[in-house]
Chain A
Amino acid sequence: MAWAMQTTLSNGTRFADQFFAGARACIPVVLSVAAYGMVWGVLARGAGLSQLEVLLMSGLVFAGSAQFVALDLWTATPATLPIGPLILAALVINLRYLLLTATLRPLFRPDQTGRGALMMGIVSDETWAMTMLEMQQGRGTIAFLLGGGVLAYVCWLLTTLLGFMLGSAIADPATYGLDFAFTATFLVLLLGMWKGKADLLPWAVAALSATIASHLVPGNWYVLIGGLAGSLAGAIADSVRHVD
């Protein structure tokens, strides 16, 4: 009994440690989330969303790029709201998450994935990338992912509301170079993942095909196209060199 309590206690402490480690590690990337949240809130007001709708969309959809596209389609009068196109756009824009959450598989035992699937709602590009970096350094836990995820979620909810309330009092982030925070964040996370020359080919294929796709295909299909092309190139190169 005593040892059982001891294990539960130490498991609990370990979970809390990892949870807060995840939240702490994600502070820099969450700053980028905050900048985008404010902008989205300002634009949402302009697009005719009510405060309750801002809260509901940020809290339930919780997907930055899908929410930005939704604003282009949104109408202030309910009768003309394109419900079908809004849902379809969210689906298409979020398809890249198929790739992102697939790579979180090592965090879960095969029998845990059902429960794990329920946690995936809290995953965003930023906290996914941070967790990937952690996993690549031989660490990374479910608690770490959740810690970063909860921080990003709360931050997204608060900053979108704040942007909505302050409205155009907020300056365009591009004025202060804050739009570059997104690119800088993912560039640094990419550099942090460098393991050796074997990464060069998949990264180059991904970068090239994503850049070409971004010119030819509208929307953010380029993430999915580049991600698939680069990872397949890496896997083919691995099998040619017989590494597993």
Chain B
Amino acid sequence: MWTSPQALAAILGMALVSFAVKALGLLLANRLPRHGFAAAWLRHVPGAVLASLVAPALATGNPAELIAALATGLVYWRSRSLLLAMALGVLTVYLARLALAG
């Protein structure tokens, strides 16, 4: 079976709303003032969004993730390399889970 009209409708609908939301963000931002409070707010959005993506994953209270997060941060601070920090973070979480499980 290739696909069905129902599946096609669902996928096209999902695609449309996903694109609309992404496009709308930029279009709305273009109407915001470029100075003052709105501009300051927009400047703080990236950091706040990234902090919101990371914090709940680390706050689950799992020590392996906390140790790995610390290692990731440390490696990035010393090396300024995203790839290296990520690789060692993944390795640390792998080893920490083995150690903590055993």
Contacts and interface: CB of A to CB of B under 8 A. Distances in A.
Q: What range describes how many residues of A lie at the interface?
A: 35 or more
B22 A121 contact: yes
Contacts of B54: 183, 186-187, 190, 207
Interface string B54-86: 111111000001001100110011000011011
Interface in A53-107: 53, 56-57, 60-63, 66, 70, 78-79, 81, 83, 86-87, 90-91, 94-105
A238 B21 CA distance: 28
Q: What range describes how many residues of B lie at the interface?
A: 35 or more
B8 A210 contact: no
A21 interface: no
A150 to B, nearest CB: 15
A222 B14 contact: no
Interface string B3-18: 1111111111111111
A47 to B, nearest CB: 11
A202 interface: yes
Main secondary structure of the interface of B (DSSP, over half): helix
A5 interface: no
Given A207-B52, A244-B40, 18 more contacts: A53-B11, A56-B8, A61-B11, A97-B22, A98-B24, A101-B24, A113-B26, A113-B30, A177-B90, A187-B72, A193-B47, A206-B49, A210-B56, A223-B53, A231-B47, A231-B48, A238-B40, A244-B36
- Nearest 7 pairs between A and B by C-beta? A226-B52, A230-B48, A234-B44, A101-B25, A177-B94, A78-B4, A210-B52
Interface of B: 1-19, 21-30, 32, 35-37, 39-59, 65, 68-69, 72-73, 76-77, 82-83, 85-86, 89-94, 97
